[in-house]
């Protein structure tokens, strides 16, 4: 029997029907009036999404491209940066910085743990020549939500730029760029924005733009200074993924119709639901505190093969993700960001239980679905946690 496909991965994520229809529209030319109109319509809405008074620039690439663009635009070879490395994508920040000739100090934290802001403060106090800090808002490989607001409170008191990878955070959990003091915020299309992969977005603070201007263009393709100039004209520097931008207009309209607070409330409730469901299955969430809202990473019992769990779930139409690096085969990552609702997540928890049983004879409490629903309803009623406001 064929099952309905449910994509519960950290990305790509499911697409709303209205977005799919927008993607299917006839092509328009990226140098003509219709595209200029689209770009001028998108810009103020993207600024509201990012919580910034600065332009938000679309780039034709994955989120990794936006990471490269931000680092290349803001730091010159030989400058010192701190990289918060607590997962696969923290490693990616380090690799990008090293490829650009930056001098990297790694602030390592155990996978599954958030960085301690006081450790960053101590590093910056010890070396005033450090020019930047590179960090994930949400470390997708572990399900950790780093305390970026607290990190920004430290960096904005110094001539240190905070560059935040919000690929699995923008549109999922609050990260208002200007209010928090983030100097560069970036994201990709295939996570909370409910689009296919292939589009990235990046915004710089006023002082980050001043630094970029002092360095001048340092990359032919990822030239944010030239992209900003084109953006003022309703254009992009190079060929754009036109239909992804048209889909983005629909995604933003869906956000605006619901209101961002409601979007965040839903994401928070789904997170509480996933964590309680996993706990009731006897599973331990990898992140005990400071957990991301878009996915839940859970440890598998000893002797249970994560690959078998995922294959079993996929037979039931539920596609989840496994661990990366040292966590490969040891965790399951259950995604619940973007166009996912409580019904999808219930199916995911059921498929997870069945996979566990097939992979290791795991016997779970039968109340796990009821417990998950109760946690979802309680979170909706209670509203957003205080630290998110």
Do residue 310 and residue 246 come from a single domain? Answer: no
Do residue 129 and residue 266 come from a single domain? Answer: no
Domain for residue 143, yes or no? yes
SS (H, E, C) 114-164: CCCHHHHHHHHHHCCCEEEEEEECEECCCCEECCHHHHHHHHCCCCCEEEE
Distance (Å, whole) CA 17 – CA 164: 31
Q: In terms of C-beta distances under 8 Å and separation of at least 24 residues, what long-range contacts does 280-284 make, across chains too?
A: 280/364, 280/365, 280/367, 280/368, 280/371, 280/372, 281/349, 281/352, 281/353, 281/356, 281/364, 281/365, 281/368, 282/362, 282/364, 282/365, 283/356
- Dmax over Cα atoms in the chain, in whole Å? 63
Do residue 150 and residue 287 come from a single domain? Answer: no
Q: Give yes or no for a cis peptide into 165 (omega within 30° of 0).
A: no
Choose among 389, 255, 373: nearest CA to 381.
373
User: How does residue 388 score in pLDDT terms, banded at 50, 70 and 90?
Assistant: confident
Mean predicted confidence (pLDDT) in 315-325 = 96
**Domain endpoint, select from 225, 257, 289:** 257
Distance (Å, whole) CA 60 – CA 199: 5
Distance (Å, whole) CA 380 – CA 328: 33
Cβ-contact 30, 236 below 8 angstroms: yes
Do residue 284 and residue 339 come from a single domain? Answer: yes
pLDDT score recorded for residue 2 = 74
pTM tops 0.95: yes
Domain for residue 332, yes or no? yes
Domain for residue 365, yes or no? yes
Do residue 242 and residue 347 come from a single domain? Answer: no
pLDDT digits (tens, 9 = 90+) for 120-140: 999 999 999 999 999 999 999
Q: Work out the mean pLDDT of the chain and round it to a whole number.
A: 96
pLDDT score recorded for residue 140 = 97
- Residue-number span of the structural domain to which 75 is assigned: 17-257
User: Residue 291 sits in a domain of what CATH number?
Assistant: 3.90.1150.10
Domain for residue 1, yes or no? no
Distance (Å, whole) CA 263 – CA 130: 37
For 44, phi then psi, to 5°, come to -65, -30
Do residue 200 and residue 282 come from a single domain? Answer: no
pLDDT digits (tens, 9 = 90+) for 255-310: 999 999 999 999 999 999 999 999 999 999 999 999 999 999 999 999 899 999 99
Domain for residue 92, yes or no? yes
Beta-carbon neighbour count of residue 1 at 10 Å?
Answer: 4
pLDDT score recorded for residue 364 = 61
Q: What are the beta bridge partners of residue 270?
A: none
Do residue 79 and residue 226 come from a single domain? Answer: yes
Cβ-contact 84, 109 below 8 angstroms: yes
Residue 7: pLDDT over 70: yes
User: How does residue 383 score in pLDDT terms, banded at 50, 70 and 90?
Assistant: very high
Q: In terms of C-beta distances under 8 Å and separation of at least 24 residues, what long-range contacts does 43-50 make, across chains too?
A: 43/231, 45/249, 45/252, 45/256, 46/201, 46/203, 46/252, 47/203, 49/170, 49/171, 49/252, 49/255, 49/260, 50/170, 50/176, 50/177, 50/185, 50/201, 50/203
Mean predicted confidence (pLDDT) in 221-228 = 98
Q: What's the gap between Cα 267 and its chain centre?
A: 13
pLDDT score recorded for residue 43 = 98
Choose among 70, 116, 122: nearest CA to 97.
70
User: Residue 102 sits in a domain of what CATH number?
Assistant: 3.40.640.10
Instruction: Decide: helix, strand or coil at residue 242.
Output: helix
Residue 389: pLDDT over 90: no
Cβ-contact 9, 345 below 8 angstroms: no
Do residue 286 and residue 193 come from a single domain? Answer: no
Do residue 100 and residue 207 come from a single domain? Answer: yes
Alpha helices in 281-340 (DSSP H): 306-315
Choose among 199, 177, 162, 178: nearest CA to 75.
162
**Domain endpoint, select from 257, 279, 300:** 257
pLDDT score recorded for residue 361 = 66
Domain count along the chain: 2
Do residue 351 and residue 238 come from a single domain? Answer: no
Distance (Å, whole) CA 163 – CA 238: 24
pLDDT digits (tens, 9 = 90+) for 43-84: 999 999 999 999 999 999 999 999 999 999 999 999 999 999
For 211, phi then psi, to 5°, come to -65, -45
Mean predicted confidence (pLDDT) in 226-250 = 97
**Domain endpoint, select from 257, 280, 304:** 257
Cβ-contact 354, 365 below 8 angstroms: no
Do residue 154 and residue 26 come from a single domain? Answer: yes
Tally of residues, the chain:
389
Do residue 206 and residue 317 come from a single domain? Answer: no
pLDDT score recorded for residue 387 = 74
Q: At what angle do helices 63-74 and 88-99 cross, to 10 degrees?
A: 40
pLDDT score recorded for residue 1 = 60
């Amino acid at each position: 029997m064929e099952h309905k496909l449910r994509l519960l991965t950290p990305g790509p994520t499911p697409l709303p029907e209205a977005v799919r229809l927008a993607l299917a529209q006839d092509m328009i030319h990226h140098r003509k009036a219709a595209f200029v109109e689209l770009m001028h319509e998108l810009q103020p809405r993207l600024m509201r999404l990012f919580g910034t008074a600065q332009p938000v620039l679309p780039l034709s690439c994955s989120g990794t491209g936006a990471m490269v663009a931000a680092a290349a635009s803001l730091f010159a070879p030989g400058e010192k940066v701190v990289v918060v490395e607590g997962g696969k994508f923290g490693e990616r920040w380090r690799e990008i910085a090293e490829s650009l000739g930056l001098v990297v100090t790694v602030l390592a934290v155990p996978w599954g743990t958030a960085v301690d802001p006081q450790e960053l403060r101590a590093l910056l106090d010890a070396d005033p020549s450090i020019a930047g800090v590179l960090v994930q808002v949400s470390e997708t490989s572990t399900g950790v939500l780093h305390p970026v607001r607290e990190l920004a409170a430290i960096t904005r008191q110094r001539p240190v730029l905070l560059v935040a990878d919000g690929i699995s955070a923008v549109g999922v959990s609050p990260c208002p760029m200007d209010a928090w003091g983030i100097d560069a915020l970036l994201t990709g299309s295939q996570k909370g924005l409910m689009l296919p992969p292939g589009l990235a977005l990046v915004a710089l603070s006023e002082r980050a733009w001043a630094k970029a201007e002092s360095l001048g263009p340092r990359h032919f393709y990822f030239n944010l200074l030239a992209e900003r100039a084109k953006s003022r004209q309703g254009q992009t520097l190079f060929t754009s993924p036109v239909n992804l931008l048209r889909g983005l207009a629909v995604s933003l309209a869906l956000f605006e119709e619901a209101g961002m607070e409601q979007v965040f409330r839903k994401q928070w409730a789904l997170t509480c639901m996933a964590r309680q469901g996993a706990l009731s299955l006897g599973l331990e969430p990898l992140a005990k505190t400071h957990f991301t809202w878009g996915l839940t990473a859970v440890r598998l019992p000893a002797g249970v093969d994560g690959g078998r769990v995922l294959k079993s779930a996929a037979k039931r139409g539920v596609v989840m993700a496994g661990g990366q690096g040292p966590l490969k085969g040891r965790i399951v990552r259950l995604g619940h960001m973007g166009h996912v609702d409580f019904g999808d997540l219930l199916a995911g928890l059921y498929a997870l239980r069945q996979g566990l049983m097939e992979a290791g004879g795991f016997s779970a409490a039968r109340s796990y679905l009821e417990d998950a629903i109760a946690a979802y309803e309680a979170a909706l009623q209670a509203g957003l946690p205080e630290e998110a406001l």
